[in-house]
Amino acid sequence: MRRPVVGATPSHPTTGSPEPNTSIMNNNPWQEKKRPTALIVLPILTYIGSSIMLMTTLLMGAKNFLTDLLENAYQMGFDDNVLKELQSMMEIPSWVFYFFSGCLILTVIGAALMMRMEKIGFHIFVISKLLLFGCAVITGHGVLSLNSTYFLGSVIFALLYFNQLKYMRKGEEDKGINN
């Protein structure tokens, strides 16, 4: 039996080729960062929720859609509360719906950037949510699904994204560097 040479690189038992020194490879500052599962799941959930809200908001911005919906609701015998809610939506100016749509598009852009592990995505996400709530408060048209459940969900998502900031990079200059 051969005795190993002191200080030699250990070799693979079957191929005889030297085994890589994994301690050096694990400390490589140029190695690409691994994306945490949360930075996959959260953006996907954001895409789904914001896309549904975006389609609804764009449809509500089209006054002829709301008029047709209100006519059909009368014919179908909807509850009076639903009819009152539809009537109140008819009074909201179209620009509010389109502003909300723009905020939702910014939310999706922020989530896409966070999925690419860029910190600027978090800031875009938070700014879009603040604009959304600010518009709802200033115009007094918070009936557009900006109830307490939506607000609470947005705060929870912002906190979950905030918790993932340590895995994100500031921009292109430190791409792939473990900080």
Average of pLDDT values for 115-123?
A: 92
What is residue 135's predicted lDDT score, i.e. its pLDDT? 82
pLDDT tens by residue, 128-170: 999 988 887 777 765 444 566 777 888 899 999 999 998 888 7
pLDDT tens by residue, 93-112: 878 888 889 999 999 999 99
Computed over its alpha carbons, how large is the radius of gyration of the chain? 26
What is residue 33's predicted lDDT score, i.e. its pLDDT? 61
The region of weakest confidence among 8-12, 75-79, 87-91, 109-113 is: 8-12
What residue segments make up the domains of the chain, in order of their start?
35-167
pTM of the model: 0.68
Looking at per-residue pLDDT, the higher value among 45 and 4 belongs to 45
What is residue 14's predicted lDDT score, i.e. its pLDDT? 61
Write down the mean pLDDT value for the chain: 77
Residue 77 φ/ψ, nearest 5 degrees: 75, 40
Predicted confidence band of residue 72 (pLDDT cuts 50, 70, 90): confident
The DSSP H or E segment spanning 50 is helix 38-61
Q: Yes or no: say if 104 and 65 are a contact pair by the CB < 8 Å rule.
A: no
- Residue 124, number of CB atoms within 10 A of its CB: 20
Q: Yes or no: say if 103 and 131 are a contact pair by the CB < 8 Å rule.
A: yes
The percentage of the chain sitting over the pLDDT mark of 90, rounded to a whole number, equals: 26
Residue closest to 129 by CA, chosen among 110, 145, 149, 107? 107
What is residue 178's predicted lDDT score, i.e. its pLDDT? 45
